[in-house]
Chains A and B, each alone.
Chain A
Amino acid sequence: MLPWLGIAFMIGLGELLTRTEMISSRHFPPPSEMFAALADELTTAEFWTAVGNTMQGWALGLAIACAIAIPVGIVIGSSSLLYRSVRAVIEFLRPIPSVALIPLAVLIWGSGLESKVFLAAFAATWPLLMQTLYGVQDVDPVATDTARSFGFGRGQRLLHVTLPSAVPYIATGVRISAAVALILAVTAELVIGSPGLGREINIARQSEAVDIMYALIAVTGLLGWGVNIVFARVERRVLHWHPSQRVEVAK
């Protein structure tokens, strides 16, 4: 009940402020007009093509990131020697803002899908890699010691103790990476002009179709929200032991 009241309040406030021109409607059209533009957009083929393009880049980027980051993270996290060897390299490569490579991507692949996927994958790999690493390293030593005392070998400990305890971290990592991949996909579309929602938003702004611009921004927001909900649900199921999720018996 409460959430819906909050939403209704915000929309109502927006409508009031824009209709009375307290906020210039040139910059910010009334929500009702934005909804109308959104409804219109949903009927056009161009819109759905753009959505498809964005999601395609996102999905490919995320998939590549997972395929690289999770195995690499597990391998590096399992061997402290290996970790120490590559730690400096990771710590230097990781903070490189992926967007710094936009010019490079444009140089090599132009403004097509490859650039978008490259950027999305590059950016999404790091959070997932780090989360996987931490998850594997953060396993409770008491748990592995217990397993060892029961005669579990190294591989079995990895499979039965370390990985299950790392899964919540990996789930969090995938959620973060999913968001990052989407951001980079839209960024590539916006900055480079790859086909997709980002490019459509830019076109709308340049042609002063402000209501369409906002409608499209809202759509990207909805996409991001949807992606987040799906991955957060999965993560929550996997993370149910955390204190903030515990139902308090006392009050």
Chain B
Amino acid sequence: MLHVEHLKKSYGETEAIGDVSFDVQAGELVCVVGPSGCGKTTLLKCISGLLEPTAGTVRVDGNLALVFQEYSRSLFPWMTVRQNVAFPLRRKHMDKREARALVEQSLASVGLEHTLNRYPWQLSGGMQQRVAIARALAFKPQILLMDEPFASVDAQTRADLEDLVLDVRRDYEVTIVFVTHDIDESVYLSDRIVVLGPSPTSVQEVLDVPLGQPRDQVQTKERPEFTQLRAHVWRSIKRPDNDPVAA
């Protein structure tokens, strides 16, 4: 579904991405973690086509949608929630009623069917991010890229939104690449984790997360495997020069 090979991105003298290669299979939820400032956002921008890589290739099988961290700046403030979600659909020349239904369905799947005619700035941060997710879902992408989408949201809301992502992946069968700096979140959500090293970044390691489905905020996080995985990722980020630390 997504194939990244020897991706490199420099800005003049500064090398943001050194050499990144990884694959994502259809239907997977892959988290990308790494230290602050290592180039995770740059990586997503290269994958989504917002930035041209300096070298290397990115191959995407299908449409993609990107959910930004700054939800308040990515939703159009002069449009209602309904109009925001419907906006990308204009390109698809759908039947009006079909589009309407799709918009309402997407908003319902994120629990916001009652906010159709409100403006984004009338909603809380968590709700705004849900609108952004609904907008991405209505677009029916094959791959959903998410750039630290819950970093600016409070912890309680974040837990709800994490579960929402899991539900969405299950219901829409969409492949998700989820960038985060929160290690707990990455272990909780993913099937596999790609750990990036510090700038100029490259792939430190890729690990499987054999925690099964469905996940639960309390039960999954109580399991010893969760703690071990979490510790593993932590060490991998903190001591990048050491090769796989014994689990």
Q: Which B residue sits closest to A249, measured CB to CB?
A: B11
Please indicate the chain A residues that have their CB under 8 angstroms from the CB of B45 in the complex: 250
Chain A 201-251 residues near chain B, CB threshold 8 A: 249-251
Report Cα–Cα, A11/B22, bound state, in Å: 58
B94 within 8 A of A: no
Chain B 8-51 residues near chain A, CB threshold 8 A: 11, 45, 50-51
Chain B 48-70 residues near chain A, CB threshold 8 A: 50-52
Q: Tell me whether A251 and B52 are in contact (CB under 8 A).
A: yes
Please indicate the chain A residues that have their CB under 8 angstroms from the CB of B51 in the complex: 250-251
Report Cα–Cα, A250/B53, bound state, in Å: 11
Chain B 161-185 residues near chain A, CB threshold 8 A: none
Main secondary structure of the interface of B (DSSP, over half): loop
A-B CB contacts (within 8 Å), total count: 6
Q: Which A residue sits closest to B16, measured CB to CB?
A: A249
CB distance from A246 to the nearest CB of B (A): 14
Please indicate the chain B residues that have their CB under 8 angstroms from the CB of A249 in the complex: 11
Report Cα–Cα, A86/B11, bound state, in Å: 53
CB distance from A236 to the nearest CB of B (A): 23
Report Cα–Cα, A250/B9, bound state, in Å: 11
CB distance from A153 to the nearest CB of B (A): 33
Please indicate the chain B residues that have their CB under 8 angstroms from the CB of A251 in the complex: 51-52
Report Cα–Cα, A249/B16, bound state, in Å: 12
B144-172: contact bitstring with A at CB < 8 Å (1 yes, 0 no)?
00000000000000000000000000000
Please indicate the chain A residues that have their CB under 8 angstroms from the CB of B52 in the complex: 251
Report Cα–Cα, A250/B51, bound state, in Å: 6
Q: Which A residue sits closest to B45, measured CB to CB?
A: A250
CB distance from B51 to the nearest CB of A (A): 5
Report Cα–Cα, A250/B50, bound state, in Å: 7
Report Cα–Cα, A250/B39, bound state, in Å: 13
CB distance from A96 to the nearest CB of B (A): 34
Report Cα–Cα, A250/B45, bound state, in Å: 9
CB distance from B212 to the nearest CB of A (A): 39
CB distance from A57 to the nearest CB of B (A): 45
Chain A 147-167 residues near chain B, CB threshold 8 A: none
CB distance from A83 to the nearest CB of B (A): 26
Report Cα–Cα, A249/B52, bound state, in Å: 11
Q: Which A residue sits closest to B52, measured CB to CB?
A: A251
CB distance from A47 to the nearest CB of B (A): 50
Please indicate the chain A residues that have their CB under 8 angstroms from the CB of B50 in the complex: 250
CB distance from A198 to the nearest CB of B (A): 44
Report Cα–Cα, A251/B51, bound state, in Å: 7
Report Cα–Cα, A80/B50, bound state, in Å: 45
CB distance from B2 to the nearest CB of A (A): 20
CB distance from A51 to the nearest CB of B (A): 46
Chain A 109-159 residues near chain B, CB threshold 8 A: none
Report Cα–Cα, A250/B52, bound state, in Å: 9
Report Cα–Cα, A249/B45, bound state, in Å: 12
Report Cα–Cα, A249/B12, bound state, in Å: 10
Please indicate the chain A residues that have their CB under 8 angstroms from the CB of B11 in the complex: 249
Please indicate the chain B residues that have their CB under 8 angstroms from the CB of A250 in the complex: 45, 50-51
Report Cα–Cα, A4/B95, bound state, in Å: 51
Report Cα–Cα, A114/B50, bound state, in Å: 60
Report Cα–Cα, A249/B50, bound state, in Å: 11
Report Cα–Cα, A249/B11, bound state, in Å: 8
Q: Which A residue sits closest to B50, measured CB to CB?
A: A250
Report Cα–Cα, A242/B216, bound state, in Å: 45
Report Cα–Cα, A72/B110, bound state, in Å: 52
Report Cα–Cα, A251/B52, bound state, in Å: 8
CB distance from A28 to the nearest CB of B (A): 44
Report Cα–Cα, A249/B51, bound state, in Å: 9
Report Cα–Cα, A250/B11, bound state, in Å: 9
Q: List 6 A-B contacts (CB under 8 A).
A: A249-B11, A250-B45, A250-B50, A250-B51, A251-B51, A251-B52
A-B interface, 6 closest residue pairs, ranked by CB to CB distance from nearest? A250-B51, A250-B50, A249-B11, A250-B45, A251-B51, A251-B52
